[in-house]
Amino acid sequence: MKAIVAVKRVIDYNVKVRVKADNSDVDLANTKMSINPFCEIAVEEAVRLKEAGTVSEIVVVSVGPKAVQEQMRYAMALGADRGIQVETAAAPSSLDVARLLAKINEEENADLFILGKQAIDSDNNQTGQMLAALLDIPQATFASEVKIADGKAEVTREVDGGLVTLEMDLPAVVTTDLRLNEPRFAALPKIMQAKRKPLAVKTVEELGVTLSNSTELLSVEPPAERQAGIKVGSVDELLDKLRNDAQVL
């Protein structure tokens, strides 16, 4: 069984985002970049399925400039077998990424697609669902448990109010939620090994996909700051403020 895992290079989740002075976008110059945390969970899940003997090959795909190879090599250090980079300059839309993944799959014919539920930069939460739609295959988003048996995937999803479990025919798309697993650390020998794993580079033109970003970014502003209030000295004072000043009790 072949699994395709898509990964995105994003600002490291520990770095505080700054908006550019001209409000054109956020400032990513000289910023630490990492694999999107949800994508890392997706890679880990695929590796666990491989260790369990369910998955035989893991193909990691990333869309973007050459720098994304850094995150692809990291995914390979975790256990992905080979990589396909789709070279693009700008960050394409979720629909474009889904179309590129669908095109890649014409050659790859994967049985399972594991993607992060969202990237922590654009916070879109779209690509997995779009890929499932384009391939006309089932989806299970926000997964907290994945079991594969007899050509089917049983996936528990984290939804408002609790958990829902679905059974899907394969091929299928799974998007990962935080608690699906805790990714391992990449050991040094694995990092060295990963440098020798095959990594193919394809262009958007080669794949015959026309990028179609119909959503234009007009401006980016910092959010309205909330001001610090006052410290109160006791429970009585707190209740007094809440009852009489704020009038919320």
Partner 1 sequence: MKTLIIAEHENGAIKSATLSAVTAAAALGAPVDLLVTGNDVAAAAQAASQVAGVSAVLTAEDAALAHPLADLIAPVAKQLAGDYTHILVGASTFGKDLAPRLAALCGVNQISDIIEVIDADTFKRPIYAGNAIATVKSSDATKVITVRGTAFAAAASEGGSAAVSAANATVGTAKVRFVRADVTESDRPELDSADIVVSGGRGVGSKEDFAKVFELADKLSAAVGASRAAVDSGFVPNDMQVGQTGKMVAPKLYIAVGISGAIQHIAGMKESGVIVAINKDEEAPIFNIADYGLVGDLHDILPELVSKI
Stretch of residues binding partner 1 (CB under 8 A), selected from 44-52, 62-70, 104-112, 177-185:
177-185
Stretch of residues binding partner 1 (CB under 8 A), selected from 61-69, 76-84, 172-180, 203-211:
172-180
Q: Residue 111: name the closest of 71, 134, 138 by CA.
A: 138
The helix/strand/coil state of 248 is coil
What is the distance between the alpha carbons of residues 148 and 212, in angstroms, rounded to a whole number? 35
Q: Per-residue x/- mask for partner 1, residues 102 to 121, rule CB under 8 A?
A: ------------------xx
Q: Verify binding: residue 229, partner 1, rule CB under 8 A.
A: yes
Q: Verify binding: residue 219, partner 1, rule CB under 8 A.
A: yes
How does strand 112-116 pair with strand 172-176? parallel
Q: Verify binding: residue 159, partner 1, rule CB under 8 A.
A: yes
Give the one residue of 138, 174, 183, 194 binding partner 1; rule: CB under 8 A.
Answer: 138
- What is the secondary structure of 83-125 as a DSSP string? EEEEE-SS---HHHHHHHHHHHHHHH--SEEEEES--TTT---
What is the distance between the alpha carbons of residues 207 and 195, in angstroms, rounded to a whole number? 25
194-197 contacts at long range (C-beta below 8 A, 24 or more positions apart): 194/73, 194/74, 194/76, 194/77, 195/73, 197/73, 197/76, 197/80, 197/81, 197/82, 197/83
- 189 or 247: CB nearest partner 1: 247
- 31 or 190: CB nearest partner 1: 31
With both helix axes pointing from N to C terminus, report the angle between 68-78 and 37-51 in degrees, rounded to the nearest 10. Answer: 30
Q: Verify binding: residue 161, partner 1, rule CB under 8 A.
A: yes
Q: Verify binding: residue 12, partner 1, rule CB under 8 A.
A: no
Chain positions 46 to 85 lying near partner 1, rule: CB under 8 A, are none
Q: Verify binding: residue 183, partner 1, rule CB under 8 A.
A: no
We find the least distance from the C-beta atom of residue 37 to partner 1, in angstroms, to be: 9
- 69 or 181: CB nearest partner 1: 181
Q: Verify binding: residue 122, partner 1, rule CB under 8 A.
A: yes
Number of residues that bind partner 1 (CB under 8 A): 78
Give the one residue of 1, 33, 178, 191 binding partner 1; rule: CB under 8 A.
Answer: 178
Cα-to-chain-centroid distance, residue 4: 13
Chain positions 22 to 51 lying near partner 1, rule: CB under 8 A, are 26
- What is the secondary structure of 54-76 as a DSSP string? S-SEEEEEEEESTTHHHHHHHHH
Give the one residue of 57, 87, 125, 145 binding partner 1; rule: CB under 8 A.
Answer: 125
**Burial level of 22, CB count in 10 A (0-12/13-18/19+)?**
exposed
- 111 or 177: CB nearest partner 1: 177
